[in-house]
């Protein structure tokens, strides 16, 4: 069974204090790894898709990287508006996988204090 584990569960940063969130996965046949942002009372909002080890994507203060076992979401000089829950999800081709189904981790709750 595909598994996605995110750490830490919660992270509190001061504004400007850079850090990284981790997503480790155990899957059979990774098709893609996805990062989403979720604000309270809202649905997941797409950030990045990574397909192969070594790939990197950037958007404003966020940078996502992928290895064969894990992905990191690096946050550089965060601002209070970056506070949200960050979700990692995988799309797989193994048993139970498909081109339309995502397996999510539990998320990391990021709080950035001014």
- Under the binding rule (CB under 8 A), the answer on residue 107 touching other proteins is yes
Question: Which of the residues 6 through 25 are near other proteins (CB under 8 A)?
Answer: none
Question: Which of the residues 40 through 69 are near other proteins (CB under 8 A)?
Answer: 41-46, 49
- Which listed residue (20, 26, 67, 98) binds other proteins by CB under 8 A? 98
Phi-psi group of 41: left, alpha or beta (phi > 0 → left; psi -120 to 50 → alpha; rest → beta): left
Whether the upstream peptide bond of residue 8 has omega within 30° of 0, thus cis, is: yes
**Cβ closest to other proteins, residue 98 vs residue 113:** 98
Angstrom distance (rounded) from CA 107 to CA 60: 21
* Type and span of the H or E element at 36: strand 30-38
- Under the binding rule (CB under 8 A), the answer on residue 109 touching other proteins is no
The stretch near other proteins (CB under 8 A) out of 21-29, 34-42, 53-61, 65-73 is 34-42
80 DSSP assignment: G
């Amino acid at each position: 069974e595909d598994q996605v584990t995110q750490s830490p569960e919660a992270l509190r940063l001061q504004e400007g204090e850079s850090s990284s969130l981790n997503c480790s996965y155990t899957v059979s046949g990774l098709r893609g790894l996805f990062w989403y942002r979720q604000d309270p009372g809202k649905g997941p909002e797409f950030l990045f898709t990574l397909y192969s080890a070594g790939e990197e994507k950037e958007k404003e203060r966020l940078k996502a990287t992928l290895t064969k076992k894990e992905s990191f979401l690096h946050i550089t000089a965060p601002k209070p508006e970056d506070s949200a829950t960050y979700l990692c999800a995988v799309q797989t081709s193994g048993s139970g996988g498909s081109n339309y189904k995502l397996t999510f981790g539990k998320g990391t709750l990021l709080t950035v204090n001014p």
